[in-house]
Structure 1
Protein backbone atom coordinates (compact mmCIF):
# COMPACT_ATOMS: atom_id res chain seq x y z
CA UNK A 1 0.00 0.00 0.00
CA UNK A 2 2.78 2.42 0.89
CA UNK A 3 4.60 1.68 -2.38
CA UNK A 4 1.45 2.10 -4.47
CA UNK A 5 0.47 5.44 -2.92
CA UNK A 6 3.89 6.90 -2.21
CA UNK A 7 2.85 7.45 1.42
CA UNK A 8 4.76 5.90 4.31
CA UNK A 9 3.36 2.99 6.30
CA UNK A 10 3.43 5.17 9.38
CA UNK A 11 1.30 7.81 7.65
CA UNK A 12 -1.18 5.16 6.50
CA UNK A 13 -1.41 3.87 10.08
CA UNK A 14 -1.93 7.43 11.30
CA UNK A 15 -4.72 8.08 8.77
CA UNK A 16 -6.33 4.78 9.78
CA UNK A 17 -6.16 5.66 13.48
CA UNK A 18 -7.71 9.08 12.77
CA UNK A 19 -10.56 7.43 10.88
CA UNK A 20 -9.59 8.87 7.50
CA UNK A 21 -9.11 5.34 6.16
CA UNK A 22 -10.79 2.06 6.96
CA UNK A 23 -9.04 -1.25 6.48
CA UNK A 24 -10.34 -4.79 6.39
CA UNK A 25 -8.63 -7.10 8.87
CA UNK A 26 -7.49 -10.61 8.05
CA UNK A 27 -7.61 -13.52 10.48
CA UNK A 28 -3.95 -12.86 11.22
CA UNK A 29 -4.79 -9.19 11.91
CA UNK A 30 -3.17 -7.83 8.74
CA UNK A 31 -4.82 -4.76 7.26
CA UNK A 32 -6.12 -4.90 3.71
CA UNK A 33 -7.05 -1.78 1.76
CA UNK A 34 -9.35 -1.63 -1.25
CA UNK A 35 -8.85 0.30 -4.48
CA UNK A 36 -11.27 2.85 -3.04
CA UNK A 37 -8.94 3.32 -0.06
CA UNK A 38 -5.98 3.84 -2.38
CA UNK A 39 -7.93 6.57 -4.14
CA UNK A 40 -8.86 8.03 -0.77
CA UNK A 41 -5.17 8.31 0.20
CA UNK A 42 -4.51 10.15 -3.06
CA UNK A 43 -7.42 12.47 -2.26
CA UNK A 44 -6.09 13.08 1.25
CA UNK A 45 -2.68 13.94 -0.17
CA UNK A 46 -4.27 16.39 -2.63
CA UNK A 47 -6.13 18.08 0.23
CA UNK A 48 -2.88 18.29 2.19
CA UNK A 49 -1.23 20.04 -0.78
CA UNK A 50 -4.06 22.59 -0.57
CA UNK A 51 -3.09 23.15 3.08
CA UNK A 52 -6.27 21.69 4.60
CA UNK A 53 -5.97 20.44 8.16
CA UNK A 54 -6.63 16.76 8.84
CA UNK A 55 -9.92 17.71 10.52
CA UNK A 56 -10.96 19.67 7.40
CA UNK A 57 -9.93 16.73 5.24
CA UNK A 58 -12.06 14.40 7.35
CA UNK A 59 -15.05 16.74 6.91
CA UNK A 60 -14.50 16.82 3.14
CA UNK A 61 -14.27 13.03 2.95
CA UNK A 62 -17.49 12.69 4.97
CA UNK A 63 -19.25 15.15 2.65
CA UNK A 64 -18.05 13.14 -0.33
CA UNK A 65 -19.39 9.92 1.22
CA UNK A 66 -22.76 11.57 1.85
CA UNK A 67 -22.89 12.92 -1.70
CA UNK A 68 -22.01 9.51 -3.10
CA UNK A 69 -24.71 7.91 -0.96
CA UNK A 70 -27.24 10.56 -1.98
CA UNK A 71 -26.45 10.08 -5.66
CA UNK A 72 -26.74 6.29 -5.42
CA UNK A 73 -30.02 6.62 -3.54
CA UNK A 74 -31.22 9.10 -6.15
CA UNK A 75 -30.29 6.73 -8.99
CA UNK A 76 -32.15 3.90 -7.27
CA UNK A 77 -35.23 6.05 -6.74
CA UNK A 78 -35.18 7.23 -10.36
CA UNK A 79 -34.89 3.64 -11.57
CA UNK A 80 -37.83 2.64 -9.36
CA UNK A 81 -39.92 5.54 -10.65
CA UNK A 82 -39.09 4.69 -14.23
CA UNK A 83 -40.13 1.07 -13.68
CA UNK A 84 -43.41 2.20 -12.09
CA UNK A 85 -44.14 4.48 -15.04
CA UNK A 86 -43.54 1.64 -17.49
CA UNK A 87 -45.74 -0.68 -15.42
CA UNK A 88 -48.50 1.91 -15.38
CA UNK A 89 -48.30 2.41 -19.12
CA UNK A 90 -48.43 -1.29 -19.85
CA UNK A 91 -51.20 -2.07 -17.37
CA UNK A 92 -53.45 0.82 -18.28
CA UNK A 93 -55.58 -0.25 -21.18
CA UNK A 94 -56.82 2.91 -22.82
CA UNK A 95 -58.93 2.27 -25.89
CA UNK A 96 -59.21 5.86 -26.99
CA UNK A 97 -56.03 6.90 -28.84
CA UNK A 98 -56.45 10.54 -27.79
CA UNK A 99 -56.61 9.64 -24.09
CA UNK A 100 -53.60 7.35 -24.43
CA UNK A 101 -51.62 10.16 -26.02
CA UNK A 102 -52.75 12.55 -23.27
CA UNK A 103 -51.56 10.16 -20.54
CA UNK A 104 -48.18 9.73 -22.24
CA UNK A 105 -47.76 13.51 -22.62
CA UNK A 106 -48.65 14.08 -18.96
CA UNK A 107 -46.15 11.49 -17.82
CA UNK A 108 -43.51 12.89 -20.18
CA UNK A 109 -43.98 16.46 -18.92
CA UNK A 110 -43.86 15.33 -15.30
CA UNK A 111 -40.74 13.28 -16.00
CA UNK A 112 -39.04 16.23 -17.67
CA UNK A 113 -39.86 18.47 -14.71
CA UNK A 114 -38.49 15.85 -12.33
CA UNK A 115 -35.30 15.46 -14.34
CA UNK A 116 -34.79 19.24 -14.47
CA UNK A 117 -35.25 19.49 -10.70
CA UNK A 118 -32.75 16.68 -10.17
CA UNK A 119 -30.20 18.33 -12.44
CA UNK A 120 -30.53 21.57 -10.49
CA UNK A 121 -29.88 19.68 -7.26
CA UNK A 122 -26.80 17.99 -8.69
CA UNK A 123 -25.24 21.24 -9.94
Structure 2
Protein backbone atom coordinates (compact mmCIF):
# COMPACT_ATOMS: atom_id res chain seq x y z
CA UNK A 1 0.00 0.00 0.00
CA UNK A 2 1.22 3.48 -0.87
CA UNK A 3 2.22 5.88 1.92
CA UNK A 4 -0.05 8.88 1.41
CA UNK A 5 2.37 11.17 3.27
CA UNK A 6 4.55 11.91 0.26
CA UNK A 7 3.85 10.76 -3.27
CA UNK A 8 6.46 10.87 -5.99
CA UNK A 9 6.04 10.74 -9.75
CA UNK A 10 8.16 8.20 -11.60
CA UNK A 11 10.75 10.82 -12.62
CA UNK A 12 11.04 12.18 -9.10
CA UNK A 13 11.50 8.70 -7.67
CA UNK A 14 14.11 7.87 -10.30
CA UNK A 15 16.04 11.06 -9.53
CA UNK A 16 15.97 10.55 -5.76
CA UNK A 17 17.16 6.94 -6.15
CA UNK A 18 19.73 7.70 -8.88
CA UNK A 19 18.19 5.23 -11.33
CA UNK A 20 16.50 5.79 -14.66
CA UNK A 21 12.75 6.16 -15.16
CA UNK A 22 13.03 3.06 -17.30
CA UNK A 23 14.39 1.13 -14.29
CA UNK A 24 11.50 2.29 -12.08
CA UNK A 25 9.07 1.31 -14.83
CA UNK A 26 10.69 -2.12 -15.17
CA UNK A 27 10.61 -2.77 -11.41
CA UNK A 28 6.95 -1.76 -11.38
CA UNK A 29 6.09 -4.07 -14.27
CA UNK A 30 7.96 -6.92 -12.52
CA UNK A 31 5.90 -6.35 -9.37
CA UNK A 32 8.89 -5.23 -7.28
CA UNK A 33 7.41 -1.75 -6.78
CA UNK A 34 3.82 -0.72 -6.11
CA UNK A 35 2.27 2.47 -7.42
CA UNK A 36 -1.04 4.27 -7.45
CA UNK A 37 -2.49 5.65 -10.68
CA UNK A 38 -4.06 9.08 -10.86
CA UNK A 39 -7.17 9.87 -12.89
CA UNK A 40 -4.83 11.13 -15.63
CA UNK A 41 -2.90 7.83 -15.47
CA UNK A 42 0.21 9.24 -13.76
CA UNK A 43 2.00 6.80 -11.50
CA UNK A 44 2.64 7.89 -7.93
CA UNK A 45 4.95 6.12 -5.51
CA UNK A 46 5.07 6.35 -1.75
CA UNK A 47 8.23 6.98 0.27
CA UNK A 48 8.56 3.25 0.87
CA UNK A 49 9.44 2.89 -2.84
CA UNK A 50 12.73 4.69 -2.14
CA UNK A 51 13.71 2.03 0.39
CA UNK A 52 12.50 -0.70 -1.96
CA UNK A 53 14.68 0.57 -4.82
CA UNK A 54 17.72 0.83 -2.54
CA UNK A 55 17.06 -2.73 -1.38
CA UNK A 56 16.64 -3.97 -4.97
CA UNK A 57 19.86 -2.28 -6.07
CA UNK A 58 21.76 -3.84 -3.14
CA UNK A 59 20.40 -7.26 -4.06
CA UNK A 60 21.43 -6.73 -7.69
CA UNK A 61 24.96 -5.88 -6.55
CA UNK A 62 25.01 -9.32 -4.92
CA UNK A 63 23.99 -10.83 -8.30
CA UNK A 64 20.60 -11.96 -7.00
CA UNK A 65 17.99 -12.86 -9.59
CA UNK A 66 14.75 -10.90 -9.83
CA UNK A 67 12.94 -13.92 -8.47
CA UNK A 68 15.23 -13.99 -5.42
CA UNK A 69 14.78 -10.24 -4.96
CA UNK A 70 10.99 -10.64 -5.14
CA UNK A 71 11.16 -13.33 -2.43
CA UNK A 72 13.34 -11.13 -0.24
CA UNK A 73 10.96 -8.18 -0.66
CA UNK A 74 7.99 -10.38 0.18
CA UNK A 75 9.62 -11.59 3.39
CA UNK A 76 10.78 -8.06 4.26
CA UNK A 77 7.26 -6.66 3.93
CA UNK A 78 5.35 -9.62 5.32
CA UNK A 79 4.01 -9.67 8.85
CA UNK A 80 4.07 -13.48 8.73
CA UNK A 81 7.25 -15.46 8.33
CA UNK A 82 7.39 -18.30 5.83
CA UNK A 83 9.97 -20.77 7.15
CA UNK A 84 10.59 -22.31 3.71
CA UNK A 85 11.30 -18.92 2.19
CA UNK A 86 13.64 -18.01 5.06
CA UNK A 87 15.40 -21.37 4.69
CA UNK A 88 15.82 -20.69 0.96
CA UNK A 89 17.28 -17.25 1.66
CA UNK A 90 19.71 -18.62 4.24
CA UNK A 91 20.85 -21.26 1.74
CA UNK A 92 21.38 -18.57 -0.90
CA UNK A 93 23.49 -16.53 1.51
CA UNK A 94 25.54 -19.59 2.53
CA UNK A 95 26.11 -20.51 -1.13
CA UNK A 96 27.23 -16.95 -1.85
CA UNK A 97 29.56 -16.98 1.17
CA UNK A 98 31.12 -20.24 -0.02
CA UNK A 99 31.64 -18.78 -3.48
CA UNK A 100 33.13 -15.57 -2.08
CA UNK A 101 35.30 -17.56 0.33
CA UNK A 102 36.76 -19.55 -2.57
CA UNK A 103 37.33 -16.35 -4.55
CA UNK A 104 39.05 -14.70 -1.58
CA UNK A 105 41.22 -17.74 -1.03
CA UNK A 106 42.39 -17.55 -4.66
CA UNK A 107 43.02 -13.80 -4.37
CA UNK A 108 44.86 -14.28 -1.06
CA UNK A 109 47.13 -16.88 -2.65
CA UNK A 110 47.86 -14.49 -5.53
CA UNK A 111 48.60 -11.60 -3.16
CA UNK A 112 50.99 -13.81 -1.17
CA UNK A 113 53.07 -14.23 -4.36
CA UNK A 114 53.59 -10.46 -4.63
CA UNK A 115 56.50 -8.60 -3.10
CA UNK A 116 56.02 -7.19 0.41
CA UNK A 117 55.78 -3.55 -0.74
CA UNK A 118 52.96 -4.33 -3.16
CA UNK A 119 51.17 -6.41 -0.52
CA UNK A 120 51.36 -3.48 1.89
CA UNK A 121 49.92 -1.08 -0.72
CA UNK A 122 47.01 -3.43 -1.38
CA UNK A 123 46.30 -3.89 2.34
CA UNK A 124 46.40 -0.12 2.98
CA UNK A 125 43.58 0.37 0.48
CA UNK A 126 41.27 -1.92 2.47
CA UNK A 127 39.04 -0.59 5.24
CA UNK A 128 39.24 -2.27 8.67
CA UNK A 129 35.74 -3.66 8.09
CA UNK A 130 36.80 -5.17 4.78
CA UNK A 131 39.87 -6.76 6.35
CA UNK A 132 37.72 -8.25 9.13
CA UNK A 133 35.20 -9.57 6.62
CA UNK A 134 37.94 -11.09 4.45
CA UNK A 135 39.49 -12.76 7.47
CA UNK A 136 36.10 -14.13 8.51
CA UNK A 137 35.38 -15.48 5.05
CA UNK A 138 38.83 -17.04 4.80
CA UNK A 139 38.27 -18.75 8.15
CA UNK A 140 34.82 -19.87 7.06
CA UNK A 141 36.11 -21.31 3.80
CA UNK A 142 38.81 -23.47 5.39
Which TM class, normalised by the smaller chain length? Answer: 0.5 to 0.7
* Equivalent residue number for residue 42 of structure 2: 30
Large movers: runs of 4+ above 6 Å: none
User: How far, CA to CA, are the matches of 1:59 and 1:70 in structure 2?
Assistant: 13
* Equivalent residue number for residue 53 of structure 1: 65
Following superposition, the deviation at residue 70 of structure 1 comes to 3.9
How many aligned residue pairs are there?
69
Structure 1 stretches lacking a partner, 5+ long: 72-123
User: How far, CA to CA, are the matches of 1:19 and 1:30 in structure 2?
Assistant: 17
User: How far, CA to CA, are the matches of 1:55 and 1:12 in structure 2?
Assistant: 17
Pairing of 1:108-119 with structure 2 (within 5 A): none
What value does the CA root-mean-square deviation take over the aligned residues?
Answer: 1.3
TM-score by length of 1: 0.54
With a CA cutoff of 8 Å and minimum separation of 6, indicate the structure with the bigger relative contact order: 2
User: How far, CA to CA, are the matches of 1:56 and 1:33 in structure 2?
Assistant: 23
Following superposition, the deviation at residue 40 of structure 1 comes to 0.3
User: How far, CA to CA, are the matches of 1:23 and 1:7 in structure 2?
Assistant: 17
* Equivalent residue number for residue 106 of structure 1: none
> Which structure has the highest helix share of the two?
1
